[in-house]
Amino acid sequence: MENRLISGTTKICGVIGDPIAHTMSPVMHNAVFKEMGMDYVYVAFQVKKEGLGEAIQGMRGLNIRGLNVTIPHKVAIIPLLDRLDHLAELIGAVNTVVNDNGVLTGYNTDAEGFLRALLERGIEPRGKNVVILGAGGASRAISFILAERGSSLVILNRTLDKAKECASRIGEVFQKEAKALEFDSENLAKALTEADILVNTTSVGMYPDTGETPVSADLLRPGLIAVDIVYNPIKTRLLEETEAAGARTISGIDMFVWQGALAFEKWTGLKAPVKLMKEAAIKVLEK
C-alpha cells in the first residue's frame, strides 16, 4: 500500500468470513483503488459465526461503505440487512453489502459475475443444456442466474437432497424444470452426452488437492465448454484435461474477478477496471 495515504476521509470496504486469511480480495481491490487514485481501502475481517450480528451493527456504526461476504455468512446475513436485491432474495444468499448512510442492501454478485464471465467470451447460455456439478452456495447462485437466462439445467450432487432442493426451487420460481441427479459416473456420463456447457461448482480440484478432478477425462469432448469455478489453481486438472480433449475452458478466476468488479461498481458508482483487477488477482495466485 506504498504511496497511498489513509486519511480522515478514507472510505472503508472489506470482506467478512471465517476463515479469511487466504482471501485474494484485498489485494485485488486495493490495487484498483491505488491505480485509480481513489480514497478507499479494503481490509479482511475474520468474523466468527456468533459475531456476525455485532459485525453488521459495526458496519453501520463505523460507516463502512461496503462488504463482501463469504463462508459461512452468505445466508445468515440476510435477516440482518435492511433491503435485498431481487436476485439475492431469489437465490437466498448475499455476497455483497452496500451501506447508504446506515441503510444496508444485500446483493449477490457471484451470480451475475458468473454470467459476465461467459458473456465476455461470447458464450450465451440462453437455450443451452448446462450440467452443473455441486449444489452448494455457489451452485445455487449459478443455477438461478442460468435458469433466469433460459438455460436447461441438470444438477448433479453427491448429496442428492441438496440438488433436489435447488431444482425444485428453480421450478417454483421460474416455472421451468431443472433435473436433479446423484453425482455418480453413470449419471454424469449420461448428462454430458447432451451438454453444451459443464460447470464445476464443487471444491474438487481446489488447492491443495490439485491432482483431483470431478470428471474423468474420457467424458470430455470437443464442442463442450467447461467452466470450473475453482480459481486456485487458475487452471485445474479438469480444465487441463478439457483443453487436451480439444474443448473450450473458462477458469474460476474470471467469475472471481467479475464478482469483485460488480461489487466495486456498487460501492463506488464507477466502472470497474476489470483487466487491472484480473492482473492483480493472477499475480497473487502465481506467487
Ligand X SMILES: NC(=O)c1ccc[n+]([C@@H]2O[C@H](COP(=O)([O-])OP(=O)(O)OC[C@H]3O[C@@H](n4cnc5c(N)ncnc54)[C@H](OP(=O)(O)O)[C@@H]3O)[C@@H](O)[C@H]2O)c1
Active site residues: 74
110 scored as a contact of ligand X (CB under 6 A): yes
Q: Per the structure block, which three cell numbers stand in for 125?
A: 447460455
Q: Per the structure block, which three cell numbers stand in for 20?
A: 479469511
Q: Quick one: which of 13, 24, 55, 135 contacts ligand X (CB under 6 A)?
A: 135
Tallying the residues shown for the chain, one arrives at 287
Closest approach of ligand X to the CB of residue 71, in Å: 6
Determine the size of the site formed for ligand X (CB under 6 A): 25
139 scored as a contact of ligand X (CB under 6 A): yes
**Is the CB of 204 or the CB of 220 nearer to ligand X?**
204
Report the DSSP beta bridge partners of residue 32: none
249 scored as a contact of ligand X (CB under 6 A): no
Which amino acid does the sequence have at 68? N
- Give the chain's count of helices (H) and strands (E): 10, 12
Closest approach of ligand X to the CB of residue 49, in Å: 14
Residue whose beta carbon is closest to ligand X: 136
Closest CA to 144 of 202, 91, 200, 70: 91
233 scored as a contact of ligand X (CB under 6 A): no
Element (H, E) at 155: strand 152-157
134 scored as a contact of ligand X (CB under 6 A): yes
Closest CA to 252 of 144, 118, 94, 149: 118
204 scored as a contact of ligand X (CB under 6 A): yes
Closest approach of ligand X to the CB of residue 282, in Å: 13
